Structure 1
Amino acid sequence: MPDRFIQTIVNFLARPDYRPLKLRALARAMEIDEDEYPAFRSAVRSLTDAGRVVAGGGGKLLLPPMPTIVDGVFRGNRRGYGFVTPDPPTGDGDVHVPAGATSGAQSGDIVRCRVRKSGRQDGRMRYVGEVVEILSRAFSRVVGALEKAGDRWIVRPHGTTPLEPVYVDDVSARQVRAGDQVVVEILAYAEEGRPARGVIVERLGPFGGPGVDVLTVIRQYGLPDMFSEEALAEAREAARSYRIEDRLDGRLDLRDELIVTIDPADARDFDDAISLRRIDEGEPPAKSVTALEESDRAAPSTPRDRSRRKPRSRRAAGGPEVGSVAGPLPAAWELGVHIADVSAFVPAGNALDREALERGTSVYFPRHVVPMLPELLSNGVCSLQEGAPRLCKCVFIRYDAEGRVIDARFAESVISSSKRLTYEQVTAVLEGRTADVPEPVIALLRDMERLARIIRSRRLREGMLVLDLPDVELELDDHNRVRDAHPADTSFSHTIIEMFMVEANEAVARRLTEAGAAFLRRVHPEPAAEALENLSLALRGAGMELPRRAERRDLQDLLDTVRGKPAATVVNLLTLKSLAQALYSPRREGHYALASECYCHFTSPIRRYPDLHVHRLLAAVMRGEDVRASAVRYAAGGETDAAANERNAAPACEKQPGRRRRTGTRRGHVRRASRRDNEEARASRRVDRPGSSVSLDAAPTDVTLLGRHCSFTERRAQDAERELKLLKVLELLSDHVGESFEGIVTGVAPFGVFVEHRRYLVDGLVDIADLPDDYWEIDESRSAMRGRRTGRRFRIGDVVRATIAKVDLPGRRLSLVLTESGSEGRHPRGPDVLRRRGRFDSKRRGGRSPGRRGR
């Protein structure tokens, strides 16, 4: 399976310190085992045949040089310049496009660019380019405020993506007035000396009016928010015809079992429930029944770092594979994870399924949800409501006393939730406040806490990274305006559910892998070497040290050392920016964040389409169908089913080639992703953008395209959620212009310093023109701004006082000035060198927010 080497090879050759090597020398440098070498050699040949790798002098391998003409995605900046990300990528990074050379390209456009060298920087050749052709446009519609400019009407687009104003005619025909939020269809795009023209197609309401901000973001991101009559009719029929007596055949009846749900207080769609029992010593495994499909294969604890992997014994014929030389201890726990069986109500290919696929995911705004499925299903017959009989797919996982998996079984069932609990109620019970909670539920919750802590400890030993970044919950008034904010709940009750969901997802992925299915995995690639080197340099600028070739244990040591200290927020933020973005793909790349070789999303089919896709495949496996012979195809290029299945059918938890194993858990927060990641995701937000979406007809038969589409809809939803949250916070801060606050420097750029408001967790910009009088120089490698004359510095992590100078709601920008104008900043210094081995602790919140998507 050479395909599994391809991205690893490309990443290695893209390292700044890479020097061209011959094939055998490259294999040694990448620590390729001898038995892996034939597949590795085939992967290199595939890359050279495709032109993605070239052989230089003496047959030494390297990435192709930057060509003179490249195609790629354009990302614009409000100051007029931009960048082009080449596709396919080269070893030289992005191309800088100066102001005046963009040819009217706007963020997200696919462009053709003429490229030339601009000189070396930080040891690498940099390139500058000129857009010579716009191949496709990212936006056909924009959302903004209607304004009068002289005798003409214009619409100035709102949002974080810089877009040119659009001139509109025949305003009176739409009964709109100045200040209204409107949607404009672009008729002619802006060119040199000629503005864009368009026509108003929808009036949303006056800027700042009730609900207009939500509707603005929905239209801005192209979120489908209306279901067709055909889909609604199918939902009504599915809900109306649901009779539990007709659904019992072939299902386990668990309605008398103690099963609970734990969700946020304001949640309405409950898609997961938990049961747990202790196993008496000597108790035999549960027998397989018609509704129950048992997997003999255990889930070994497999640390992803090859240099620290524990030895494993071989699996005896017919017996379970074990996670250590001594093998697991006798079974001590059986965890039941019960997930709403949405596939029982949404057949593949009907109108409901097509519209769920188009949405890809539910989008959660404050007090407003754009659901993936009609609420008749998502909040009705699919939701695991207390006391209501509901259809489920279940995973039963048995653990020994050390939290190692012994085996996993799968079932279709009927359950009736015994108790609907909130995270706050669970926290109260675990802290001893047990009023009005039945004793059996109290005992269950305490056992759940014990097992979750055991599992968490095991995963941390295996290398799981957990970023501890603060988050806030917004408090809204009756008009849905922010009146205040408070720190988000980070109690262990959230971690309990997170750990159990991760274990269930992993168990299902292992089972589908064993069956040879081509399915959507949740992939989180390891960070690029350059990203880790940049992290090392940035930390040095913040007064800390990290090896330039950091391993996962180095990252764990770093986070463990700063935990609970003032520097923790900045260090976690910088670490987050160094990590790759998780995505959906059938490729076997593993999940860096979770120390998992086999991972998928299974536990949220009400709100995520990949989970619904996985449910259908698991049902086929449980029915005994040969999924290897299914019509699901692996690659967009038309790879045969046989080749796809051969490529995808590998032993569960097979090791990844030639790299050290690393993991981590990422959280989504407002503005927590890197600015570049946010811009790239926003640039691809349009459903009709080439390469960003997938034909609804093609998706069921092409897992690769399905993964691209679901990754796109996930990013679109996350960006929309973050932008509305940012807008609401800025609305609040607009009433506090002139007030000062204590903030922390989160970034520096040639045009200024970014400072985070620590209460609301939004960034503001101190423009370089507003810094104290000096000649300011930026040292990006050290993440610092330094005054040449005075020696004053602003470094990432400095604590400063700033004043709110201006709030730009349409542009989603916060402008600040420094109150402590002469200060170097109070810097929460870390240790000089971080070498002590150890782990770090983190708390995970749940809730219907971007952060919950990672389950």
Structure 2
Amino acid sequence: MSRPFPTKQEILDWIRDNPGAAGKRDIARAFGLKGPARVELKRLLKEMAAEGLLEKRPRRALAPKGHMPSVAVLIALEPDASGDLFLEPQGWESDDPPPRILFVPRKGDPAPGPGDRLLCRLTRVHDLDHAYEARLIRRIGAGARRMLGVFRAGPDHARVEPIAKGDAHVWMVPPGAENGARDGELVRAEALDGPRAHHLGLPRARVIERLGDPFAARSVSLIAIHEHGIPLDFPQEAEDEARAARPVGPEGREDLRHLPLLTIDPADARDHDDAVCAMLDDDPANPGGHVVWVAIADVAHYVRPGSALDREARRRGNSTYFPDRVAPMLPEALSADLCSLHEGADRPCIAVRMTLDASGERRGHRFVRAIMRSAASLSYEQAQALEDGRADPALAPLEGPVRALFAAWRAADKARARRAPLALDLPERKVVLSPEGEVEQITFRERFDAHRVIEEFMILANVCAAETLERKRRPLIYRVHEEPGPDKMDALREQAEACGLVFPKGQVLRTRDFNRLLEQAAGGECAELINLAVLRAQTQAYYAPENLGHFGLNLPRYAHFTSPIRRYADLTVHRALISAHGWGPDPRRDGATLEEQESLKETAEHISFTERRSMTAERDTIDRYLAAFLKDRVGEVFEGRISGVARFGLFVKLDETGADALVPISSLGREYFVHDPEAQTLTGERTGRVIGLGQRVTVRLREAMPVTGGIVCDLLSVEGGALAGGGRRGKARGKAPRRKLVKERVRRAKIPRRRP
């Protein structure tokens, strides 16, 4: 008995189930069609194609309209607002829009960049906002290079000038590729040519996105935001979840509203995620001891695992702070309201009660999930004034609680001195903006004992969190800081010797060794440079699920617990504490999930990356504001100190602003200079003059470039002595220098060591 002729739907179903074998002969064989039936099949397939049900693929294959094969080459798109990465088929020719394809990475997969060509295995999905999910087989090609720059119109052709410091390439924008960009706008552009296609002229690019005026009031940070891909706007779903959140009552929580908890933050702080108070311990067994409470906003109650808020917070990793704006980790409805410990408002918190003895050593601690009410929101200046007895009379009722905090801190500071963490003392620059967003001044933030009070109690609370989770055998993300490597130690030793200081070698590294060097430099001309050199010698701290200790703080274990509004690492620690203690109402809802625990390594790597990204963006923005502040002072003379020496010139830290300026080697006079990377010096071939780290210099500002943040100066004098034959040198004259002779002079002309 012959099989019935297949219907159109049966043919479509079979093709979907057999994407690798979907030619006319395959279909005929599958349905047992022979002779005249094959002629009818050919007519039916042609009819289905005319109706838009089928489309032809290479090698005479057929596929349902919009259907993808099981393996395909896909192009990576930009991540969407939720951080998800979607792909599109390469060479999609259908009139219908391509299907939405979600990229689902496996552990260890590299992160694709926009435009990358990927060979992927596809899986059809249903009842979701995408039609397919793709898993990487291999990357087969990188996307076109993209850059951020300023669009410049011209009579012959437009161009894009990159804003990245050190990138001197200018890109030509051919007619029709301007995308409506206007002169002076910040744009994102994409290369049109391969890497070798522009050897006879400027490389070509097209404008793919217009980002507005980079120099409009309060817009300087937008350059760094776009350059580093820092998320600014929140997905609607996350915003909706934040707006739907409601205040929390005291039910099921320990009531701490009777405690004089205070928030102490910078005067311009908008979110307050930690509060502290202290009192004498009334336990007779602890004479002269103190009880310290540290209460932290219970962000985990509002940001639950797997929610839209959680996905977005993890994607951002942390808040990023600029002089003109904040790119927060959480929407403002939470970060500046329900999660913020505002004065007089009841707020949920996770708090730790720590007991210190008279010498500042911790005797014990315990965590609670609680409700609190901040007695006051103070600035560091106000807290210091209360301790010093010079505060506004209106703050007089807070004098007792503040002095109790300082008393407990003085005890804790004794223990800190015995522990001897790294004692860096570096001034922090502050950009002061006018209401219009213009730079009014560059100042240095004052540092008070009030800062040290909060820092020390936050460190103690972080240690307690790590110890508690270890004791309860719960996985967590540690804050890790490894000891410096030998190469960095050699560089630091050279810099110390250049400043006439001693840093011994051949011993086990301890923070005390660095502190002795800092003490030698304290109060001297090289104090700031040595502090910077010690900082640069350290490794970059990072997050990891393994405990490798914290070298800088000289602690065997450390985790971040005290800032869950602005750091995702802290939120994971809060969830671990909730699960470990079984805190209600349901620790399965806002505690650490099994999935979260299994992905701690990936989370730690991701938030380490986002932290570095934010630090770079913040630093770049400060540099741009400094350049903007100095751009109208070209030609003025500044004092400074050499902070770096390179083959191409010097870096000078200007006294007035703390800005780092480049002095090109071309401005060092009309002679050859030889670079000694070990001694960090430049030596004149003719005069034998040695220019090196730590020397006082006078420079003239040649150029300040707000777009890149670059500052270029000409060197006028070193240690009070004018350069012989000074000024920018022109074309070199005479014979090339005798290299061996010059190197011998360099060896003999090391900067002599001054004894402290």
Seen in structure 2, the aligned counterparts of structure 1 residues 830 and 171 have a Cα distance that, compared at 3 Å, is farther
Alpha carbons 2:475, 2:597 under 8 Å: kept: no
Amino acid at match of 1:219: H
Partner of 1:541: 498
Amino acid at match of 2:220: D
Alpha carbons 1:217, 1:724 under 8 Å: kept: yes
Q: CA deviation at 1:211?
A: 3.5
Q: 1:377 aligns with which of 324, 330, 334?
A: 334
SS for the counterpart of 1:803 is strand
Q: 1:601 aligns with which of 544, 552, 560?
A: 560
Matched, 1:351 2:351: no
Matched, 1:490 2:495: no
Amino acid at match of 2:580: V
Q: CA deviation at 1:770?
A: 0.7
Q: 2:216 aligns with which of 209, 212, 215?
A: 209
Residues 164-214 of structure 1, C-alpha deviations (whole Å, 9 max, x = no match): 444445658743222211122455553353665544333222342223322
Q: CA deviation at 1:533?
A: 1.9
Matched, 1:585 2:592: no
Amino acid at match of 2:282: D
Amino acid at match of 1:616: R
Partner of 1:183: 188
Amino acid at match of 1:807: A
Partner of 1:764: 661
Residues 267-317 of structure 1, C-alpha deviations (whole Å, 9 max, x = no match): 11000000111112426xxxxxxxxxxxxxxxxxxxxxxxxxxxxxxxxxx
Q: CA deviation at 1:704?
A: 1.3
Partner of 1:742: 639
Q: Structure 1: which 5+ runs fail to align?
A: 1-106, 111-133, 284-328, 634-640, 642-697, 835-855
Q: CA deviation at 1:155?
A: 1.6
SS for the counterpart of 1:592 is coil
Amino acid at match of 1:224: P
Residues 433-457 of structure 1, C-alpha deviations (whole Å, 9 max, x = no match): 1323454521221221222233223
Seen in structure 2, the aligned counterparts of structure 1 residues 108 and 799 have a Cα distance that, compared at 3 Å, is farther
Equivalence map 1:426-437=2 (5 Å): 426-437=383-394
TM-score (norm 2): 0.73
Determine the C-alpha separation between the residues in 2 that align with 1:398 and 1:537.
44
Q: 2:233 aligns with which of 226, 233, 246?
A: 226
Give RMSD over aligned pairs. Answer: 3.0
Alpha carbons 1:471, 1:761 under 8 Å: kept: no
Q: 1:722 aligns with which of 619, 622, 630?
A: 619
Matched, 1:158 2:55: no
SS for the counterpart of 2:626 is helix
Determine the C-alpha separation between the residues in 2 that align with 1:220 and 1:405.
45
Determine the C-alpha separation between the residues in 2 that align with 1:222 and 1:139.
17
Computing the radius of gyration from Cα coordinates, the structure with the larger value is: 2
Partner of 1:256: 258
Matched, 1:778 2:737: no
Residues 192-247 of structure 1, C-alpha deviations (whole Å, 9 max, x = no match): 53665544333222342223322222111101111111111111111xx33x4xx3
Partner of 1:531: 488
Residues 630-661 of structure 1, C-alpha deviations (whole Å, 9 max, x = no match): 9989xxxxxxx9xxxxxxxxxxxxxxxxxxxx
Residues 108-142 of structure 1, C-alpha deviations (whole Å, 9 max, x = no match): 999xxxxxxxxxxxxxxxxxxxxxxx997698642
Q: Structure 2: which 5+ runs fail to align?
A: 1-112, 117-138, 724-750
Determine the C-alpha separation between the residues in 2 that align with 1:183 and 1:438.
51
Partner of 1:804: 701
Q: CA deviation at 1:480?
A: 1.2
Determine the C-alpha separation between the residues in 1 that align with 2:567 and 2:432.
27
Q: 1:396 aligns with which of 353, 365, 378?
A: 353
Alpha carbons 2:178, 2:206 under 8 Å: kept: no
Residues 92-113 of structure 1, C-alpha deviations (whole Å, 9 max, x = no match): xxxxxxxxxxxxxxx9999xxx
Q: CA deviation at 1:811?
A: 3.1
Partner of 2:431: 474
Residues 750-793 of structure 1, C-alpha deviations (whole Å, 9 max, x = no match): 11111111221111111111102333122221222222332322
Seen in structure 2, the aligned counterparts of structure 1 residues 527 and 830 have a Cα distance that, compared at 3 Å, is farther
SS for the counterpart of 2:520 is helix
Alpha carbons 1:792, 1:823 under 8 Å: kept: no
Alpha carbons 1:538, 1:781 under 8 Å: kept: no
Alpha carbons 1:793, 1:824 under 8 Å: kept: no
Alpha carbons 1:632, 1:703 under 8 Å: kept: no
Matched, 1:200 2:202: no
Determine the C-alpha separation between the residues in 2 that align with 1:605 and 1:448.
23
SS for the counterpart of 1:154 is strand
Specify which structure has the bigger relative contact order, considering alpha-carbon pairs within 8 angstroms and separated by 6 or more residues.
1
TM-score (norm 1): 0.65
Equivalence map 1:333-344=2 (5 Å): 333-344=290-301
Determine the C-alpha separation between the residues in 2 that align with 1:513 and 1:751.
51
SS for the counterpart of 2:393 is coil
Alpha carbons 2:185, 2:214 under 8 Å: kept: yes
SS for the counterpart of 1:183 is strand
Seen in structure 2, the aligned counterparts of structure 1 residues 476 and 797 have a Cα distance that, compared at 3 Å, is same
Amino acid at match of 2:314: L
Alpha carbons 2:186, 2:213 under 8 Å: kept: yes
Determine the C-alpha separation between the residues in 1 that align with 2:720 and 2:278.
56
Determine the C-alpha separation between the residues in 2 that align with 1:173 and 1:748.
41
Residues 596-650 of structure 1, C-alpha deviations (whole Å, 9 max, x = no match): 111011000000000011100011111189x9xx9989xxxxxxx9xxxxxxxxx
Partner of 1:752: 649
Matched, 1:274 2:276: yes
SS for the counterpart of 2:484 is coil
Amino acid at match of 1:618: L
Partner of 2:714: 817
Seen in structure 2, the aligned counterparts of structure 1 residues 701 and 196 have a Cα distance that, compared at 3 Å, is farther
Identity level (%) = 34
SS for the counterpart of 1:619 is helix
Determine the C-alpha separation between the residues in 2 that align with 1:207 and 1:438.
43
Alpha carbons 1:766, 1:815 under 8 Å: kept: yes
Aligned residues: 588
Alpha carbons 1:783, 1:795 under 8 Å: kept: yes
